[in-house]
Amino acid sequence: MHPQYLIIGQGIAGTLLSYALWKQDRSFVVIDEPHELPKASLVAGAVINPVNVNRWTMVADHQDYIAAALETYSGMEETLGISLMEAMPMLVFHKDEAKRQLYNEKQSLFPAYIQQPADAEITLTQQLFRNKYGMGKVNPVWRIHAAQLLSAWSHFLKSKALLLQERFNIAECRLTPEGIRYKAISAEKIIFCEGAAAIHNPFFNTLPFTKNRGEALLLSVPGLPRAYIYHYGIRLVPTAEDLFWCGSNYRWQFNNLLPDQNWRRQTEATLRHWLSLPFKVVDHVVAERPTTAGQQFLTGTHPAMPSVAIFNGLGTKGFSCGPALARILCRQLTDPDQPAALTGMPLR
């Protein structure tokens, strides 16, 4: 087997990079083992939100990454024949008077996204939530159907004989004058999109990876309209099977990936304080996230080994910034005139 590119991992990074290469008609193979535990991509809320609602400011470079994301997911919808993306408003509940005043000051500065809720929305939420400080609205926000995206792309790759579902053993990877060799595969370049496992990758052991775990609850909330995303420090995002994704948390010091019962109790207490509707926890999911010190993404080829590259550290921004970053890396890999050095920038 002689593909141009060998991609390790099919989380959101590996999925977006392989799609970008597919669109460029480049040959590649993806190696990804079946996961018993949820991938970090599935624990993420998978929302494209151009507004930092803590400060009510626009996220840096939002025009570029939103345009790339919408074009990418629309293209994948067409290729896969399924719906992967849904635009909806996000209702943001103010936690105190200072947050409400900040929203009132900033709302007129960014009217394309930061808006006043309609009277009908205010009336509706007064019946469903307890909050004396009111709310703001971000519109549009896009929800990505993360599980369907990763699953459908996996099936697509398998149908084209482009996915090997097995554990990758880096000890069997050899650099050659022509590129790399892994078992019976010879490729020009190998790109590691392996998420949290990158912390153990000997090719990149000087990069500032750090451990970070996140978790989320899946809730049944009968009577809560699914036409909105709801935000109150924690976030409620409508997901499959009439459930809501609720989360998430971050923890940098941990010894296992067991559900944090203290966080669950605190989150349920917040929900009971906020929601007037009854709810039921259907599942509690945990995964280790690919994160770097300073929460920077890492993308590009190894400065000393041009046949080795990485696409990692996307963190919670993977579904929003990932498509634009995948395009940049694809250009670096396929165009020898493009800058090829390892690059990174803050995702906050």
Q: List pLDDT tens digits, range 287-304.
A: 776 666 556 788 899 989
* Domain carrying residue 92: 87-143+210-290
Given a cut of 60, whether residue 151 has pLDDT beyond it is yes
ω into 276 cis (within 30 of 0): no
pLDDT of residue 348: 31
Q: What is the pLDDT of residue 164?
A: 97
Task: State mean pLDDT over 248-260.
Answer: 69
Identify the weakest region by mean pLDDT among 63-72, 106-115, 274-283, 311-320.
311-320
Answer whether residue 114 is part of any domain: yes
Q: Nearest Cα to 198, choosing from 313, 121, 322?
A: 313
- Phi then psi for residue 232, to 5 deg, are -150, 60
- 205 found inside a domain: no
Summarize the confidence of residues 146-162 as an average pLDDT: 95
Instruction: Judge whether 331 lies within some domain.
Output: no
- Does the pLDDT at position 345 exceed 60? no
Query: Among residues of the chain, what percentage have pLDDT more than 90?
Result: 70
Question: Does any domain span residue 12?
Answer: no
Note whether residue 102 is domain-resident.
yes
Going by pLDDT thresholds of 50, 70 and 90, the confidence category of residue 86 is very high
- Identify the pLDDT of residue 206: 82
Mean pLDDT is lowest, of 85-94, 248-257, 310-319, for: 248-257
Q: What is the pLDDT of residues 203-220, one digit of tens each?
A: 988 887 777 778 899 999
Domain assignment present for residue 171? The answer is no
How high is the pLDDT of residue 176?
95
**Higher-confidence position of 297 and 233:** 233
Split into its structural domains, the chain has a count of 1
The pLDDT of residue 343 is above 60 = no
* pLDDT grade for 344, boundaries at 50, 70 and 90: low
CATH of the domain at 242: 3.30.9.10
What are the E-state strand segments in the chain? 5-8, 28-31, 47-48, 51-52, 57-58, 85-93, 114-115, 135-144, 163-164, 173-176, 179-182, 185-187, 189-192, 209-220, 229-232, 234-238, 244-247, 280-292, 298-301, 308-312
Q: For the segment 100-125, what is each residue's pLDDT rounded down to a tens digit?
A: 999 999 999 999 999 999 999 999 99
Task: Give the list of residues 6+ apart from residue 252 with CB closer than 8 angstroms, or none.
Answer: 210, 211, 212
Average pLDDT, the chain: 89
Residue 87 β-bridge partners: 142
Does residue 155 form part of some domain?
no
Look at residue 8 and tell me if it is in a domain.
no
The helix-helix angle for 146-159 and 62-80 (nearest 10°) equals 50
What is the structure's pLDDT at 247? 83
Summarize pLDDT for 35-77 with one digit per residue, the tens. 654 555 556 668 999 999 999 999 988 999 999 999 999 999 9
